[in-house]
Amino acid sequence: MKKIALLIAALVTVGAATTAQADTLSDIKSSGKITVGIDPTFPPYEFTNDKGEITGYSVAIMQSFAKDLGVKLEFQKTAFSGILPGLISGSFNAEGSSLNVTAERAKKVLFTVPYSKTVNGVLVRESDVKKFSGKTLSPDQLSGLSGAVKSASVPEQLLKGFNETLTQEGKKPITIISVDTLDQTVSTLMTKRADFVFDDISVLAPIVKKYPNKVAQVGEAGPSQWMAWATRKDDTRLNKAISEHILAMQKDGELTTLQKQYLGTTFTVPASDFIPQE
């Protein structure tokens, strides 16, 4: 009987601990702050400005959420490749780096509703612009070239998918150069270690503006995808709170204002059915 009582007590303790761990929203409210893991190297979504402040489109949304919740927002800088592992292990309350919504990631984390849409483009040196034609580029047009991407990103996965197609067709694959930051992808292009950079067109636009007559975007490649944040699977209350705030911002026009300010375009984000099938 004593062993049974101890077993029941242990199970109750584990259950209580799991419940406490799962209720991150309550922890945030009681502590008065939300700790967010972020890789601020992805303008215009999340980046560090000249004053050393973390800012951007997605940052403004997270700041709005924290303000509405009545808590302080604290960022924990993390390399992009460590964002999801850090989230899952509990290194921070939530993650604040923009993620492409994929079926593979959805197996590991719980996505909030999207707040943006991504279309990936190809950035090349100005001297190579004439080598490409058309608004939409096929994997064939990138065959045999070297492409720079951020490690663990969806653009990296898309290039790997392109290579599967090229290999099946007996064509030269793309040499994928994976680096940690957007700046490193651009540096790889400028020093001619890569023939192109592959990333979201809203991310590439500021680079073109920053380096006029040196780089240019020559087209888009691959499917468009929604962008969102993710929470741990158990954090359903926190996920719901963030999602409802994003949809409320869309309803009152605040999201549209931020889209115009940071992205130069507007779109309506879905409330459901945004995770792609495998």
Tell me the pLDDT tens digit for each residue of 262-277: 988 888 999 999 999 8
For residue 105, pLDDT beyond 80:
yes
Both structure tokens of 82:
């460590």
Average pLDDT over residues 55-77: 98
pLDDT above 50 for 212? yes
Amino acid identity, residue 21?
Answer: Q
Residues 218-240 have pLDDT tens digits of: 999 998 889 999 999 999 999 99
Q: Are 163 and 149 in contact (CB under 8 A)?
A: no
For residue 64, give every residue at least 6 positions away whose Cβ sits within 8 Å of its Cβ, in sequence order, or none: 245, 249, 254
Is 90 exceeded by the pLDDT of residue 7?
Answer: no
Domains of the chain: 24-117+227-263 (3.40.190.10), 118-224 (3.40.190.10)
Supply the pLDDT for residue 5: 46
Q: Is the pLDDT of residue 17 over 90?
A: no
**Digit-coded pLDDT (tens) for 159-199:** 999 999 999 999 999 999 999 999 999 999 999 999 999 99
- The pTM of this model reads 0.75
Where would I find the H helices in the chain?
2-22, 24-31, 57-69, 83-89, 103-106, 139-142, 154-168, 182-190, 201-210, 236-251, 254-262
Which segment of 49-58, 86-95, 128-137, 181-190 scores lowest on mean pLDDT?
A: 128-137
Given a cut of 70, whether residue 139 has pLDDT beyond it is yes
Hey, what amino acid is at 272?
S
Looking at the predicted structure, is the pLDDT value of residue 16 above 90?
no
